């Protein structure tokens, strides 16, 4: 009998810190990991996930707290909102439309590919469909929602098979997204548009304050905006409009930041807010990767692996031709191209890890920070659900 040990949010946060330091230590010992932009949370998280798998073999599983993980994600995206002005939003509209259309096309292509392979090679269509957009673009959320449908269609362990291939996809995308972005940036000698990175335009009256005082004031600003954004999302949910907390808080931050620029009457500590967001991002990723259920890989079979390789080839074409070339062939396009690997094969957490490591090493890409959470987090799942409903009727 499996014994589940639930870690509370304090224990989860403490373990996440261990993951981060472990990942950084291993990267110092293996310089190749640093050179090729493998994120520290991925390195440390996978090791802790393997440790958890060893406990699983002896009938014990450690389950982390989702509350603190979601809080850290909210802090990160709220901090991103404080860095974005209206001029960046205007410049990002065409890229947003291209990426949104690309995600729709990718979801359809992933499902067509797996069903075509089942027809050409006389494979079980339900088995190949577990490597469609259910587990690829959908990640764990859509897998949990639609996995039962496959079992209702008489595919034994259909949900577990989908979760297994989703887990494998997260691992693969976490390891190849950074190297792909690094390759594009170095090959084409791309540089971030520093003139587009946030610049506090209203006068900083507290310029002489020590960092600790500024950080304290930034923390108060962060907590206020998070509270306001969450309350707004709850109000929307009453009328049936489900807006994720991290989107609501990010939008409130964008609005308040631009009002600050427009009026010049109050000041946001954007540098310190960005510092808080970076801490939240690192902890969120550490928690996400250390909670991977490695034992789900035991449900993956050779047919799924073969289809996954085909999906990976499709995704690489998508990342280069649809994302990098069509969105401008610049630094932002390269970062978006690399992050698209994550939400195209396993889930958005790998994309965020890639975004973090690339911008940390080569420079910020606030266009990617703005567009990715809306398309990759907020819109991809409902679009995927609609398209999957159509394809399931064909099985």
Sign of CA dihedral 333, 339, 343, 348: negative
For 227-245, what is each residue's pLDDT tens digit? 999 999 999 889 888 888 9
Percent share of the chain, pLDDT over 70: 96
Domain ranges (residues) in the chain? 3-195+279-392
User: How many Å apart are CA 42 and CA 284, to the nearest integer?
Assistant: 11
362 pLDDT higher than 90:
yes
pLDDT exceeds cutoff 50 at 32? yes
CA 11 remoteness from chain centre: 23
Checking if the pLDDT of 305 tops 90, the result is yes
Q: How far apart are CA 132 and CA 58, in angstroms?
A: 33
Return left, alpha or beta for 64; rule: phi > 0 is left, psi -120 to 50 is alpha, else beta. Answer: beta
**What is the overall mean pLDDT for the chain?**
91
Helices (H), the chain: 9-29, 31-35, 40-57, 66-81, 86-120, 125-129, 139-152, 158-187, 211-238, 245-263, 270-290, 302-317, 331-344, 348-362, 366-372, 380-392
- What pLDDT does residue 126 have? 93
Are 364 and 191 spatial neighbours (Cβ–Cβ below 8 Å)? no
pLDDT, residue 205, reads: 63
Question: The tokens 């304050």 sit on which residue?
Answer: 209
Output the CA torsion sign for 160, 165, 169, 171.
positive
What distances in angstroms separate CA 95 from CA 79, 101, 356, one per listed residue?
A: 22, 10, 20
CA distance 261 to 267: 9
Assessment of whether the complete model's pTM goes beyond 0.85: yes
What is the three-class DSSP state of 18? Answer: helix
Residue 57 has pLDDT above 60, yes or no: yes
pLDDT band at residue 136 using 50, 70 and 90 as cut-offs: very high
Q: Which of 1-10, 42-51, 101-110, 309-318 has the lowest mean pLDDT?
A: 1-10
pLDDT at position 291 is 94
| Mean pLDDT along residues 364-384 | 86
State the DSSP code for 195.
G
> pLDDT digit string (tens) for 166-198?
999 999 999 999 999 999 999 999 999 764 444
């Amino acid at each position: 009998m499996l014994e589940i040990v639930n870690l509370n949010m304090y224990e989860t946060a403490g373990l996440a810190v261990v993951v981060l330091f472990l990942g950084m230590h291993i990267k110092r010992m293996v310089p190749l990991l640093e050179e090729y932009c493998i994120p520290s949370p991925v390195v440390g998280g996978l090791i802790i996930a393997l440790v958890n798998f060893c406990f699983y073999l002896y009938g014990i599983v450690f389950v982390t707290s989702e509350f603190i993980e979601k809080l850290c994600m909210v802090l990160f995206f709220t901090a991103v909102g404080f860095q974005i002005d209206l001029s960046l939003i205007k410049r990002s509209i065409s890229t947003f439309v291209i990426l949104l259309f690309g995600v729709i096309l990718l979801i359809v292509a992933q499902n067509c590919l797996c069903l075509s392979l089942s027809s050409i090679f006389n494979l079980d269509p339900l088995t190949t469909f577990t490597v469609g957009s259910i587990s690829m673009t959908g990640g764990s959320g859509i897998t949990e929602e639609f996995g039962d449908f496959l079992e209702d269609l008489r595919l034994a362990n259909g949900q577990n098979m989908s979760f297994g291939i989703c887990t494998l996809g997260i691992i693969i995308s976490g390891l190849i997204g950074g190297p792909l972005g690094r390759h594009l940036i170095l090959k084409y000698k791309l540089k971030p548009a520093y003139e587009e990175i946030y610049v506090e335009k209203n006068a900083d009256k507290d310029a002489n304050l020590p960092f600790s005082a500024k950080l304290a004031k930034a923390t108060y600003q962060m907590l206020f905006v998070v509270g306001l954004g969450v309350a707004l999302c709850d109000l929307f949910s009453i009328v049936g409009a489900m807006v994720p907390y991290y989107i609501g808080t990010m939008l409130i931050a964008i609005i308040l930041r631009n009002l600050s620029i427009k009026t010049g009457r109050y000041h946001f500590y954007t540098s310190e807010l960005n510092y808080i967001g970076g801490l939240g991002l690192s902890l969120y990723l550490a928690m996400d990767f250390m909670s991977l259920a490695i034992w789900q890989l035991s449900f993956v079979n050779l047919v799924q692996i073969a289809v996954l390789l085909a999906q990976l080839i499709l995704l690489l074409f998508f990342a280069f031709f649809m994302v990098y070339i069509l969105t401008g062939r610049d630094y932002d396009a390269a970062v978006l191209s690399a992050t698209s690997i994550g939400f195209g094969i396993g889930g958005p957490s790998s994309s965020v890890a890639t975004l973090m490591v690339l911008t940390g090493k080569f420079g910020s890409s606030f266009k990617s920070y703005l567009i990715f959470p809306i398309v990759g987090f907020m819109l991809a799942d409902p679009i995927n659900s609609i398209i999957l409903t159509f394809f399931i009727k064909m099985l």
